[in-house]
Chains A and B, each alone.
Chain A
């Protein structure tokens, strides 16, 4: 039985197709842009095209993320907190603490031994501690977002970024460059700044092994290192971390479908 998970985020829209809650048949990701409904449709079209399927072949479609209400042809919408939790357990079954860093929000969840979210904290009011912070800093430094992780790992003396606000930090880093600080050190400083804010969220819910990082920033090696530095422990990172929310949605969709069939 095929179920789909569609995670319409502020930065990227991700879609996955799962068979019987196990194997992943296909994954796609597109930029969300201004119209989240359009992004959801584009991601689903690409997903179905990649798998050679039609919408009616998918038994159940669950949406999640910031734009989860913007895709009308869904069977259910589920909060991203629940979905990232289940998605993280799918990637790393020993997960007890999930840190999710997306474009516009960051979250920390504490899971019980069965993977249910027991406690969570999130910041979605302010770009500090989220991907947009890094985007602003890289804009101030005039470097590509894709270069950030690699450069950050080459830092030798991370610069302290004193501004919390992403917009003010953009000006601050220009001053750091003028004062002769290295781009690598400034980027590592930006990663540590985000890590500080996210770890503060994680401490509120309780940090316990295993810790799994999900969301778009999990693909950034500099972010992973900064997080491990501030947490003082290893963090699970999968190449599929960005799809965690979509996996969670597809898995929870499968569960709903089974319940419906049993009823």
Chain B
């Protein structure tokens, strides 16, 4: 269970490590309810009852708000493990989520060698893109594609997300094109992410994870700034949850204790 600031993700693995189901939903204000809802949805997807799941590991911003979780592992470790599984050549991870950005250096077995993160400020995170989309009255899912149409990217001078909203309004008032503004916004995030990556060292292959990795404009902006190809897949947003499930599977195989009383708590929080 990867309970992020914006989206909650679940990955269910079978005993051979194959993905049986994934589920995702907006986290919203009630974090505990979101965890229960997404967990049940994943179980339904796999055609199993909630109680048949042997071991649950919580990760992400809300990892302690998974009442039916047996253990918690930081998202840094989970992203490293998950990314190395999806792209075995991964040496560097850039994870851009709703409210934080991480750069992780990964060892050959998917272990964390070094990491660096920004979770103090919304600049360079998904919130920055959300703010831009809101000001331009576009959907978050369409701004990446719009940015790719730009022929003359603008330079966004503010760092603060709040001030960038005003900056975008000023650009619009001056008659600048929406795609050029958006390309500037994507470039600004790429610039901040790459600065973070430089602190851990950039070695190919670079794998892009987190919700923002679904944005093709962001993939392109990162690749341009890095002058490198970046790995992305449909599993990119689930990499944290996948890593957590892999840790859970290891614990099951090593005979970790399996408390059963916690299941009742899960049911009380919306797991049907």
Contacts and interface: CB of A to CB of B under 8 A. Distances in A.
Nearest to B159: A125
Nearest to B30: A178
Given A35-B173, A127-B160, A127-B162, A168 B29 contact: no
B117 interface: no
B99 A171 contact: yes
Interface residues of B, number: 20
Q: Of B30, B120, B163, which is in contact with the most chain A CB atoms at under 10 Å from its CB? A: B163
Interface stretch (A110-118, A159-167, A214-222): A159-167
18 contacts: A34-B169, A125-B159, A126-B121, A126-B159, A126-B160, A127-B162, A132-B163, A136-B162, A164-B120, A165-B121, A165-B122, A167-B131, A167-B162, A168-B99, A168-B127, A174-B29, A175-B29, A175-B31
Contacts, number: 53
A132 B158 CA distance: 15
A104 interface: yes
Given A10-B166, A104-B163, A127-B162, A168 B121 contact: yes
A49 interface: no
Nearest to A136: B162
Given A35-B173, A104-B166, A125-B159, 6 more contacts: A104-B162, A164-B120, A165-B161, A166-B122, A174-B29, A177-B29
Interface string B163-179: 10010011011000000
B5 interface: yes
Contact of A167 (B161, B166, B173): B161
A129 to B, nearest CB: 11
Nearest to B130: A167
Q: Of B5, B120, B121, which is in contact with the most chain A CB atoms at under 10 Å from its CB? A: B121
A182 to B, nearest CB: 16
Nearest to A130: B162
A127 B127 CA distance: 14
A163 B131 CA distance: 18
A4 B238 CA distance: 60
A164 B121 contact: yes
A168 B173 contact: no
Contacts of B161: 127, 165-167
Closest 6 CB pairs of A and B: A167-B122, A127-B162, A34-B173, A34-B169, A165-B121, A178-B29
